Amino acid sequence: MFALQLRATGTEPTVALAVVALSALALALSLAIGAVLVRGYRRGPGNRALLVLAVGLLLLTTLPELLRVGLPTATGVGTVGRSVLVSGCELLGLGTILWVVYGGGSQ
């Protein structure tokens, strides 16, 4: 039998596990919604706005979450650099979604 070994610094292990689970759920939901948007784009008459909306959603939710986890794990980027990259990605996603909502993605 495997014993789960979890060490958390600064908080209870159950809180750390809940944060990881919620992050995984957020990633899964954003990928599922993005897949639905891309499927709608491919199925329909090729409405480009759905594809751009999917990209905006992924920039707003999925990519920042991956950057929050991946940058400190794989690189030596500090907290400030990570915050700037994550915030920039989120702002780009919000801008993309607003562009689509206000008619920029129409044919």
Task: Name the residue with tokens 């919604």.
Answer: 33
What tokens does 94 get?
Answer: 């919000």
> ∠52-25-80 over CA atoms, to 5°?
75
Query: Which pLDDT score is estimated for 90?
Result: 95
Query: Which pLDDT score is estimated for 2?
Result: 59
Question: In terms of Cα–Cα distance, which of 51, 50, 64 is closest to 92?
Answer: 64
CB 37 within 8 A of CB 59: no
Output the pTM of the full model: 0.75
Residues of the chain scoring pLDDT < 70: 1-9, 105-107
Query: Which pLDDT score is estimated for 76?
Result: 84
CB 64 within 8 A of CB 23: no
CB 56 within 8 A of CB 101: no
Query: Which pLDDT score is estimated for 78?
Result: 86
Query: Which pLDDT score is estimated for 46?
Result: 72
Query: Which pLDDT score is estimated for 93?
Result: 95
